[in-house]
């Protein structure tokens, strides 16, 4: 009997649906699937309030863990043959609940010396968040064997508008009746089941060596060279803001609230003014940096972790 553990945290339920669709073709008599939902002691509201959304920024980006409920004993005391880890991206970083689990004492006990497949569902920038997950998995002595990225495929500025509407209203429908639905498309969510058979085959054979190449061939990871650069630059800037704001006090502190408001307006300026300029620079430098972009695409499509990462 093969044992699979699906670890997840999803405010909207989108990621959970993706994971269940992906796992459904795997069910068979010789394979048992257990689901474990990470539960923060202090829950995060959904839909978000405007203030609460930005208030989690410094702790999220600086990867400061919060307390989570302990996993059930039957999970802690069982050895799994495969772990599937599903996560969201908050502010270019794994969400606080996922980060808290990966930094907890439970992570290595559950995932140590175990094959792990990561599954991310987000707007579009997941590259540096995945690097952070890779590092935490390495610390937990987990063996990353596969990665899938489900993203909103609409153009950047359209997805900014629709995702904000979804996060603040809780409604995954067409904003004003004219914008596309936010998040991962219904088609991509439904077709997550195509990744089940190769996972099952690798699990039964106990050979995950070619699984990631299969995922890439199936379209499970698409690396946008422009977003590689944007994600890297965003992380540099977010680091400065997060370290500045965290020094202003805990949630609700007047100075912190003031600086979070400034950060909010900076973020809007960056999205609507700076990002288009960065895109123009990207186009102008694309040919001279073609080989570099090719290497980056190959790397981010893989499950490898750079030694100096």
Name the percent of the chain lying above pLDDT 70: 99
pLDDT over 70 at 256, yes or no: yes
Residue-level pLDDT at 287: 81
Confidence category of residue 157, pLDDT binned at 50, 70, 90: confident
pLDDT at 16 over 70: yes
For the residues 220-225, what does the mean pLDDT come to? 94
The pLDDT of residue 290 is 84
Is the confidence at residue 28, as pLDDT, over 80? no
Q: Select the more confidently predicted residue: 307 or 203.
A: 203
- Which ranges constitute the DSSP H helices of the chain? 14-23, 50-55, 57-61, 73-76, 96-102, 105-111, 127-139, 156-169, 186-190, 196-205, 211-217, 225-246, 254-269, 275-285, 290-300
Q: Does residue 76 carry a pLDDT above 70? A: yes
Q: Sketch the domain layout of the chain as residue ranges.
A: 2-223, 228-295
Average pLDDT over residues 77-100: 97
Token representation of residue 126 = 């997941």
Distances (CA, A) of 144 to 59, 91, 116, 220: 26, 23, 5, 16
pLDDT band at 32 (very low <50, low <70, confident <90, very high): very high
Average pLDDT, the chain: 94
- Beta-bridge mates of residue 146: 117
| Per-residue confidence band for 281, with pLDDT thresholds at 50, 70 and 90 | confident
**pLDDT at residue 308 is higher than 70:** no
Q: What is the arithmetic mean of pLDDT over 135-160? A: 95
Average pLDDT of the segment spanning 108-118: 97
What 3-state DSSP class applies to 120?
A: strand
Q: How high is the pLDDT of residue 309?
A: 61
**How much is the pLDDT for 276?**
86
**Where does the pLDDT of residue 114 fall: very low under 50, low under 70, confident under 90, or very high at 90 and above?**
very high
Q: Of the CATH numbers 3.40.50.360, 1.20.120.80, 3.40.50.300, 3.20.20.80, which one belongs to the domain with range 2-223?
A: 3.40.50.360
**pLDDT band (50, 70, 90) for residue 218:** very high
Q: How far apart are CA 230 and CA 279, in angstroms?
A: 9
273 by DSSP, 3-state: which? helix
């Amino acid at each position: 009997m093969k044992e699979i553990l699906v670890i997840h945290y999803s405010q909207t339920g989108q990621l959970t649906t993706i994971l269940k669709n992906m796992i459904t073709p795997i069910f068979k008599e010789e394979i048992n699937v257990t689901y474990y939902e990470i539960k923060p002691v202090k829950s995060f509201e959904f839909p978000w309030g405007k203030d609460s959304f930005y208030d989690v920024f410094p702790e999220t980006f600086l990867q400061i863990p919060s307390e989570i409920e302990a996993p059930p004993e039957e999970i802690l005391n069982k050895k799994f043959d495969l772990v599937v880890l599903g996560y969201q991206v908050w502010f270019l970083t794994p969400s606080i609940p996922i980060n808290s689990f990966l930094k907890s004492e439970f992570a290595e006990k559950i995932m140590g010396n175990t094959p792990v497949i990561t599954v991310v569902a987000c707007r579009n920038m997941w590259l540096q968040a995945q690097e952070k997950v890779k590092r935490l998995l390495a610390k937990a002595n987990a063996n990353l064997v596969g990665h899938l990225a489900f993203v909103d495929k609409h153009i950047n500025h359209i997805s900014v508008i629709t995702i904000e509407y979804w996060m603040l209203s809780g409604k995954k429908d067409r904003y004003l009746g004219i914008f596309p639905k936010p998040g991962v498309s219904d088609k991509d969510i439904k077709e997550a089941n195509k990744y089940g058979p190769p996972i099952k085959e690798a699990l039964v054979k106990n050979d995950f060596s070619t699984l990631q190449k299969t995922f890439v061939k199936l379209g499970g990871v698409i690396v946008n060279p422009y977003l590689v650069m944007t994600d890297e630059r965003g992380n540099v800037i977010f680091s400065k803001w997060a370290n500045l704001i965290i020094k202003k006090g805990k949630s609700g502190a007047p100075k912190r609230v003031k600086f979070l408001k400034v950060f909010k307006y900076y973020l809007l300026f960056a999205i609507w003014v700076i990002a288009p300029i960065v895109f123009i620079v990207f186009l102008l430098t694309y040919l001279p940096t073609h080989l570099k972009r090719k290497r980056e695409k190959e790397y981010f499509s893989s499950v490898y972790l750079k030694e100096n990462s």
